[in-house]
Homo-oligomer: A and B are copies of this chain.
Amino acid sequence: MTVELISIGTELLLGNIINTNANYLSIECAKLGFSMYHQVTVGDNEARLYEALKTALKRSDILILTGGLGPTSDDITKETLAKVLNRRLEMDEHSRERIQAYMNRIIATNKIIPKGLAKITENNWKQALKIEGSIVIDNDYGSAPGYIVEDNNKIILLLPGPPVEMIPMFNNMLPYLKKLQDKVFVTKMVKICGIGESTAETMIIDLIEGQSNPTIAPYAKGGEVHFRITASADNEKDALILINPILDEMNNRFGSNIFTADENETLEEVVIKLLKKHELTLVTAESCTGGLLSGRIVNVPGASEVFTEGFITYSNQSKIKYLGVNTDTLADYGAVSEQTAKEMAIGAVKASGSNVSIAVTGIAGPGGGTASKPVGLVYFACSVSDKVFVSERHFKGSREKIREHSVVAALDLIRRSIIEVYG
């Protein structure tokens, strides 16, 4: 089945917000096995939305509309679709009650309008109107309900624009969408680090090009490479039979570069899991990443069990003071060197009493590079139970990109070092 996205909102055409909904829904539709051939964005304009809907109904089986379900006169998605389909709008009592409850909560917590003056305005009830014959989908995170409309062998989904409302509502529509497929689609995500995107693709280009079921699609994500494997079959078991040989082959080729095959697991979660498994605690010593590595680690809920402290030692002086880096080492080899990284890692363990440390020191640019130590040169050292592992990397791109890739490389070194010591 073919699916078409129609994003509605003048704020998208003005660039006030990035259309992350289109990306999210593209991924979800690919996982469901729908073929997406068109994405369209129009403003809050009836004539142009009417035209977009007419065109989409001619060429696509499923239309997914986001935005324009709010209470203001600018919000015209439902009204325009009703015109296109020649259907009436009717009051939905269930939605009316939910909107009443939702607005009461908003009014109770609002701080701008003086108490007593805040009230539900007439236009809020517009959100309780549904297209006759449509299925109403509750909005648990906002006031605008969503809808599924079936019309003449076409299916139209209406979703609110804000991602915090759209995503959970789309998830509630998944059982309905899955029923539209006679095939079951199963996807696995193989996540790799330590290899660049083009190298990784080259290593399995025969698999990517030789396969139609399952398909293999690469997704690059700031220093990591993700491959999504999607198979369709009559049931999940048969789909897995198609996927498993590919997974095995990717394991053969990428080996320890694969850090997870679980779509929802991040690299930092893998690191935290390894630390917990071996009852280790981590300390960070960051120079060029300046806190970004630690920031990513504490993004994992429960990180505090294994990560209690870190040092941002941007200056030479602070490397000496907090980490005990030798003045001679800095003078002889410089702050960006294997030797300094190593002493930072050892010093961080000593200062903190943790048994794992990670040290990062490098040149993020744009200034500070030399012929022998160019921008993008970064040294990493990881101490695991007194064994120290060192890594030298060369990254390209902007200051931000070099630091982003450094964070991934640091996490990856912790992962590899713990596995090396503890198996």
Contacts and interface: CB of A to CB of B under 8 A. Distances in A.
Interface of A: 7, 12-20, 22-30, 36-43, 45, 48, 112, 198-199, 202, 217-220, 284, 286, 288-295, 297-299, 301-304, 307-315, 317-318, 321-322, 352, 364-367, 399-400, 403
B299 A322 contact: no
Given A23-B19, A26-B15, A295-B291, A318 B309 contact: yes
Number of identical protomers: 2
B292 A16 contact: no
Nearest to A298: B290
A36 B313 CA distance: 48
Q: Which 7 A-B pairs have the closest CB atoms?
A: A291-B294, A290-B298, A291-B291, A15-B26, A15-B27, A310-B312, A292-B295
A7 B40 CA distance: 10
5 contacts: A12-B22, A15-B25, A15-B29, A309-B313, A311-B312
A303 B365 CA distance: 11
Given A13-B36, A286-B291, A308 B298 contact: no
Contact of A312 (B45, B309, B400): B309
A38 B55 CA distance: 13
Contacts of A309: 311-315, 317-318, 321-322
Most central of A7, A26, A28, A289 by chain B CB within 10 Å: A26
Pick the most buried of A30, A286, A309, A311: most chain B CB atoms within 10 A of its CB: A309
Contact of A22 (B19, B295, B317): B19
Among A17, A198, A310, A364, residue most surrounded by chain B Cβ atoms (within 10 Å): A310
A281 to B, nearest CB: 10
B37 A45 contact: yes
A314 B318 contact: no
Q: Which of A16, A30, A217, A321 has the most CB of B within 10 A?
A: A16
Contact of A202 (B27, B39, B112): B112
Contacts of A321: 309
A19 B19 contact: yes
B310 A315 contact: no
